[in-house]
Structure 1
Amino acid sequence: MKDISFKSKDGVYEADFKSEGPCVVQIDNGKLTPLAIYKHMEGMEPSADSRIEFDPRKRTIDLDVPVGMMIRIVSETPVKLAKMVVVQSNVGSSGGSGGDSSITSATATVDGNTGTPEVSVDLQGGALSFAFKNLKGEKRCYWF
């Protein structure tokens, strides 16, 4: 869980932070005044069409903003407390390790052993690795 910091700017209170992927934010500004949330590229200002649609009276909000994009939350009143939790995704349905399910690289290793072929697969931080074992066949000599 991370704190979100707001600063007073031009008569409103703003928080800017980099998205870490899907998350849930909760904001306590002591009022039911509407909030506005935008996504935008780092170094650029949000535009009207980058506003994220949600019920502006809610104070617990699910956000699905791509990793690396900026999120701006605007409140008309001072914010007492705001927090964010990144939603962890699951990899596969067989109890994967969770985390980022985007595959960015893949590696494979093969040992030189004989026996019953097997493979183990691992996904860590977007890197998929295969470890093949026992693929080498037995040498046979046939005399005709």
Structure 2
Amino acid sequence: MLVQTFRSRRLLEDSIHITVEERVAIFLHVVGHNQRFRIVQNTFRRSMETISRYFKQVLYDVGELIGEMIRSPPSQTPTKIRTSPRWYPCFKDCIGAIDVTHVTARVPRSQAATYRGRKHYTRQNVPVAVNFNLKSTYVLSCWEGSAHDANILSDR
């Protein structure tokens, strides 16, 4: 969907050297996996300058779509909370919720120690934010399994 949006608005177009899909994949790989350009350079077999240029280009174009992708929270208390005597006094000013879950991860042996949590398997911490209407869900970031939830939330 992101690639289709870029194409339909003519924010990105294929060139003879690289497609829109590959540009977006490079961007998402850097952002989603918190990877350095040097690692992404080896993954995509492109020069460091190419990775940097296309990352910045996609980042700029995502910024062009910010009005559609990021919405301010509603100013009203959700109906489900407002009408519940159990929830209203405590949650009247809440606009959503954040929770962190752990997802099994397959990583190279050299990185396994940082992804191993207290249950002794490799995993990633994935914080998610939702609004009370459940109309929008956001994955905030992905962290190695040994990272503490407080560190993840304070990173935002």
TM tier, smaller? under 0.3
The structure whose residues are more often helix, as a share, is 2
Larger radius of gyration: 1
Larger RCO (CA within 8 A; separation ≥ 6): 1
The structure whose residues are more often strand, as a share, is 1
TM-score, structure 2 length as denominator?
A: 0.21
